[in-house]
Structure formats: structure tokens, C-alpha cells
Amino acid sequence: MSAPTPLLIDGLQCGPYDRTVFEQLRAGGVTCATATIAFWEDAVESMDALVRWHDLIDANSDLVVQATTAADIEQARADGRTAILLGAQNASPLQSRLGFVRLFHNMGLRVMQLTYNNNNEFGGSCYEETDPGLGRFGREIVTEMNAVGILVDLSHCGERTRREAIEHATLPVAVTHANPRSLYDHPRNVGDDTLRALAERGGVLGLATYHSISGKYAATLDDWCRMVTETVELMGVDHVAIGTDLSPKAGPAEFDWMRRGRWTRAEQRGADLGAGAPPEVTGPTEWLADASGLAAVAGHLTARFGFAPEEAEAVTGGNWLRLYRTVFAGT
């Protein structure tokens, strides 16, 4: 029996997916990737997305398998397939029903962001002028997500909502795809105090490779691994992971849906803040056009940045696996 491939988990990706993308995941040695099934979609639309995922996984079962537990991820690794965890970048699938948390858990959803780009009934978004914090309904769903075993994701939340959710949750939570604001100042990124609170409670930050929120750290693998190193200094090696936000097949229609959804007819630039953005914003991430480039991360962290092999593996997968194991068990 051959030794298992190194543990490599990408805590957040976006679609669309097809066989080519699955082949890229295999080429990157990716053990597990969390795929986004919803940005603004409501309950039935999210159920439609789950069905499309079932069909897609069934048609590519030599490459991928759906995971709903940490054990599923380990089994996929042993089998040489990439485990797909299904998550939502908004709590919109709940369609304002507390009880739908359990139903979406029943249906296999394991990660849910509380808010996307606008404030909602649960809490505040990083892109609104005012973040009211985790609201009355928000507290209810965080408790419910903890109870049934869905990971609370705070990536697009406002800073106050992030802090209040970390505080309110009784299990560790995650920021699956963002960077430290002290390294790159952007509303999507997270303040140092919040990151320390996240780590103190056992949570994990998935560092993004997306250029708009990584700036100078997006240019090369070496630049990005420097961000990993600096974030590990801030939070500790047990709380930093990968959350690329990769969407290699997304085109204008997908970005338009992410940014404008059904809430506005006006142009929206999303994380690309346009003329007011810091000057070091670069174009597309050249070192990581798709997931195949992830294979190089662990080796680069050990060879160039002095990570011990077990430290590199914590960052590339071990921290996500620990968090998933803890959180998916529920309270």
C-alpha cells in the first residue's frame, strides 16, 4: 500500500465545475475542496444546485466524491479521489427559516457564510456602510449551525458581525477565504484583533489567493507563501489554512451574478474596488490559475520559509481537517 498523498484542503472555491476542473484538483493533489453552491440563491434554488452537484459527482466518480464528515475526507484521500464539501456563501438557502438549518444539513451542506455582500436578516456585510452586528435571527442560526454541525463562515461578514459570531458560537468558526487587513487593507480582509479572537476559540482563517484582496501577495507563489508566514506569526500555525476563492471557469455571467445578484441594476465591481483601490492590486493570479498549482505550496513553505513538514501540512490541510472534525460533530 502506497503512502497517502500529503493532506491538502482548499477551504473555499467557486464554480462552475466540470471534469476539467476536477482534473485540475487531482493534478494539484487536492484532498478536499469546499465548493460554493449559493451566493444569493434561496431554498429551492439551492436544492437545485445540490441536485446538479449530485449529478456532476456521479458522472465523475473516478475523480471526486462528496464528503459530509472528516472520515469521508480521509477515505477519499486513501482512495485517490478529491472530496467535495458543499457550502454556501450566504445564508440565503435558509430563506429566513431557522428550521431550514437542519434540513440543509440533512441534504449535505456543511459550510455556510452568514452574509454575502449585503447586510441581511442575520448580520452585517463587509461591503455595507454600517454593520449592525450579529442580529437576533443571526444568533439563532449560529446556535443552530453549531447544534447540527454546519461550519459558520464569516468571510464576507462585516467586522462587528465577525467578532460577535466568534463570541456567540460555542464551537470554533472560520473565515474560509480572506486575508489579514494588517497585511493588505481591504474591507473584505480581517482585523488582527478579530483574527486573534478567531484563533483563541480554535477557529481557522483560509488565506485567499484572489488578487483583489491579496495585492502584492498575489503575484507569485513566493509572495503568497510570505503572506502565509506573516499570518502564522499573527495567529499561530494551527489557525492558518488555504481558502483560494478559485473559480477558473467563471466568466462574466458568473461574476455578474455574484456581484449584482437580483438586488441592483447598477454596475458592481465586487472586491475590485476600482479607482480607489490600492496601487499594488495586480491582474489575475498567475501562479495559481487553477488548483493544479496548489501542489507546490507545502514544498515551498518547507524549502523557502523554514516550515517543518508537519507545520506545512497543518497549513495546507491539517487545520481544516481538525476544524471540520470538531464542527461537523455538532453540539
Strand 151-153 relative to strand 109-113: parallel, antiparallel, unpaired? parallel
Cα-to-chain-centroid distance, residue 109: 13
Quote the least distance from Cβ 155 to its own copies, whole Å.
18
Neighbours of 59 (CB within 10 A): 13
Between CA 293 and CA 325 the distance in angstroms is: 26
**Is-contact 111 172, C-beta < 8 A?**
no
Determine the 3-state secondary structure of 320 from DSSP. Answer: helix
Q: By C-beta, is 3 or 266 nearer to its own copies?
A: 266
| Cell matching residue 40 | 444569493
Residues that bind its own copies (CB under 8 A): 40, 42, 92, 95-99, 118-121, 124, 127-133, 135-137, 140, 261-265
Q: By C-beta, is 15 or 124 nearer to its own copies?
A: 124
Quote the least distance from Cβ 90 to its own copies, whole Å.
10
Contacts of 74 (CB under 8 A, 6+ apart): 321
Q: By C-beta, is 118 or 292 nearer to its own copies?
A: 118
Quote the least distance from Cβ 326 to its own copies, whole Å.
25
Quote the least distance from Cβ 169 to its own copies, whole Å.
17
Q: By C-beta, is 31 or 125 nearer to its own copies?
A: 125
Quote the least distance from Cβ 114 to its own copies, whole Å.
12
| Cell matching residue 173 | 468558526
- DSSP 8-class letter at 319: H
300: closest CA among 285, 289, 315, 290?
315
